Amino acid sequence: MTYSIVARDPETGELGVAVQTGTFGVGRGVPWAEAGIGAVATQSYTERSYGHFGLELMKAGRTAPDALAGLVASDAEERTRQVGMVDATGRAAAHTGAGCIRECGHLVGDGYAAQANMMARNTVWHAMAAAYEAADGTLAHRLLAALDAAEGEGGDFRGPQSAAILVVQAEPTGFTWKGRVSDLRVEDHADPLGELRRLLEMEEDYRAERGDHLRESDRRWVAAREAAVAGDAQRARDLLQPLFDAHPNWRDAVRASGERGDFPGWEQVIA
């Protein structure tokens, strides 16, 4: 009841998965990814073990096609599953069981797999692939372009409700929770993709510590820290004074950041 795409960025090596569906909370079960290992989308009548064991098999050295084939072969209900996988070298694979709800299908391309079921049209996964290949920008934005294309083709015939995106770095960390570049969920919304884009742009602004999405307090904090790094404690103090006036605990935030080594000259700033 979902459409999704898994992909590896050939330039950065990032791995990601993006998904939208017509039910609540799609981010809880469909998207899986681990830094330097691979990405999985498990949907239709979702079996989450495809995510966990798919990543474990790829971590053990199996390719995405081999890992997926092994899991499908051991699944007594494979006819109701739809799964896409990509590994850290860009090898991709997908499975659409014969029992998935129409319209359903997938397309495997160079470094990605797009899959969809319960769609309004059988053109959805082809549109996703074309949009992903034509898009530029970060992997997250390219994945989102594929979702936009799917919705443009009619998407889930029930209409949209939730969406999610998960992107991880190229280098393995040894931990499933580390190395996440983007990790966003829209659990329930009239326009899940619009909301997902808003959150992605905000996330990227906060990561860069720049942009229109930062709150005024965050802008002041970033500018003050930059001034402190440059050795201008007075400017840092001037920038933070409105925050100090708003609540005295901002001084303690400067202290804690300074003691961690993130705010040079903090003693002068709060003196």
Q: Average model confidence (pLDDT) for the chain?
A: 96
Q: Is the dihedral of CA 166, 170, 173, 175 positive or negative?
A: positive
In this structure, the answer to whether residues 124 and 35 fall within a common structural domain is yes
User: By C-alpha distance, which of 151, 158, 150, 165 is closest to 199?
Assistant: 165
For the chain, 271 residues long, give each residue's pLDDT as a single digit of tens: 699 999 999 999 999 999 999 999 999 999 999 999 999 999 999 999 999 999 999 999 999 999 999 999 999 999 999 999 999 999 999 999 999 999 999 999 999 999 999 999 999 999 999 999 999 999 999 999 999 999 999 988 888 999 999 999 999 999 989 999 999 999 999 999 999 999 999 999 999 888 889 999 999 999 999 999 999 999 999 999 999 999 999 999 999 999 999 999 999 999 8
In this structure, the answer to whether residues 46 and 173 fall within a common structural domain is yes
Q: Rounded to whole angstroms, how far apart are CA atoms 257 and 252? A: 8
Whether 187 and 181 have beta carbons less than 8 Å apart is answered as no
Q: How many CB atoms lie within 10 A of CB 133?
A: 14
- The backbone torsions φ and ψ at residue 157, rounded to the nearest 5 degrees and listed phi first, read -70, -10
Q: Rounded to whole angstroms, how far apart are CA atoms 19 and 24? A: 12
Spatial neighbors of 7 by CB under 8 A, at least 6 apart, are: 15, 16, 17, 39, 86, 92, 111, 112, 113, 132, 139, 142, 143
DSSP letter (8 states) at residue 249: H
In this structure, the answer to whether residues 168 and 224 fall within a common structural domain is no
Q: How many CB atoms lie within 10 A of CB 121?
A: 14
* CATH at 146: 3.60.20.10
Residue with tokens 């039910």: 23
Q: Give residue 50's identity as a one-letter amino acid code.
A: Y
In this structure, the answer to whether residues 187 and 231 fall within a common structural domain is no
In this structure, the answer to whether residues 146 and 225 fall within a common structural domain is no
In this structure, the answer to whether residues 66 and 159 fall within a common structural domain is yes
In this structure, the answer to whether residues 184 and 228 fall within a common structural domain is no
Q: State the pLDDT at residue 1.
A: 61
Residue finishing a domain among 186, 208, 230: 208
Query: pLDDT > 90: what percent of the chain?
Result: 95
In this structure, the answer to whether residues 137 and 247 fall within a common structural domain is no
In this structure, the answer to whether residues 77 and 157 fall within a common structural domain is yes
Calculate the CA dihedral of residues 206, 212, 214, 217 and round it to 10 degrees.
Answer: 150
User: How many residues belong to the chain?
Assistant: 271
Left if phi > 0, otherwise alpha if psi is -120 to 50, otherwise beta: which for 90?
left
Residue with tokens 């996703």: 128
User: Which domain range does residue 221 map to?
Assistant: 216-270
User: By C-alpha distance, which of 61, 100, 54 is closest to 77?
Assistant: 100
CA distances to 63, 125, 267 from 168, in Å = 18, 23, 37
Domain count, the chain: 2
Residue finishing a domain among 189, 208, 227: 208
Type and span of the H or E element at 202: helix 192-208
CA distances to 114, 153, 264 from 136, in Å = 17, 20, 38
DSSP reduced 3-state for 154: coil
Q: State the pLDDT at residue 215.
A: 92
Residue finishing a domain among 187, 208, 229: 208
